[in-house]
């Protein structure tokens, strides 16, 4: 419902919804280990880059990059909470090359370190 309401504010969205909108999000969700360039995603859905960014901004309130970061951090939180994998493995699962980057990004996003998730019972 929200998509259709927002589509009225953005002319190009109204003619493309709902046929294509699931594609960019599915591309980002499919493989969290690598970020697909906006140019690549825009090409797949046959939209100019700026229109894709505008659509994300209207529909999700954030850019493609921020949307991708949120997906990765939410996946990381689920994995940390499960407690089965090490922080290094979780970092690799979401495309971080070292555990320091993962821990810093996790703390920036959630406000606490990955190790505190189990302790606080979040």
Is residue 121 included in any domain, yes or no?
no
What's the average model confidence in pLDDT over 50-76?
A: 89
Is residue 53 included in any domain, yes or no?
yes
Please tell me the predicted confidence (pLDDT) of residue 17. Answer: 57
What's the average model confidence in pLDDT over 60-70?
A: 90
Please tell me the predicted confidence (pLDDT) of residue 120. Answer: 59
**Last residue of some domain: 20, 35, 63?**
63
78/94 same-domain check: yes
What is the three-state SS of the chain? Answer: CHHHHHHCCCHHHHHHCCCCCHHHHHHHHHCCCCCCCHHHHHHHCCCCHHHHHHHHHHHHCCCHHHHHHHHHHHHHHHHHHHCCCCHHHHHHHCCCCCHHHHHHHHHHHHCCCCHHHHHHCC
74/43 same-domain check: no
Phi first, then psi, for residue 80 (nearest 5°) are -65, -45
Full residue range of the structural domain in which residue 49 is found: 2-63
Is residue 120 included in any domain, yes or no?
no
Please tell me the predicted confidence (pLDDT) of residue 19. Answer: 62
Provide the CATH number for the domain around residue 103.
1.10.10.60
Please give the structure tokens belonging to residue 85: 């994998």
Tens digits of per-residue pLDDT, 7-30? Answer: 445 555 556 555 667 778 888 888
36/20 same-domain check: yes
Is residue 119 included in any domain, yes or no?
no
83/54 same-domain check: no
pTM of the model: 0.76
Is residue 122 included in any domain, yes or no?
no
Is residue 58 included in any domain, yes or no?
yes
Contact 65, 53 (CB under 8 A): no
Mean pLDDT lowest among 2-6, 18-22, 51-55, 79-83: 2-6
């Amino acid at each position: 419902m929200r998509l259709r309401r927002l589509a009225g504010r953005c002319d190009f969205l109204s003619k493309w919804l709902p046929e294509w909108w699931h594609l960019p999000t599915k591309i980002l969700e499919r493989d969290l280990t690598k970020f697909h360039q906006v140019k690549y995603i825009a090409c797949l859905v046959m939209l100019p880059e700026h229109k894709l960014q505008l659509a994300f901004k209207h529909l999700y309130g954030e850019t493609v990059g921020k949307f991708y970061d949120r997906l990765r951090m939410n996946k990381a939180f689920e994995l940390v909470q499960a407690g089965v994998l090490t922080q290094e493995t979780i970092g690799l699962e979401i495309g971080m090359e070292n555990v320091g980057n993962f821990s810093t990004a996790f703390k920036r996003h959630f406000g606490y370190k990955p190790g505190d998730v189990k302790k606080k019972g979040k």
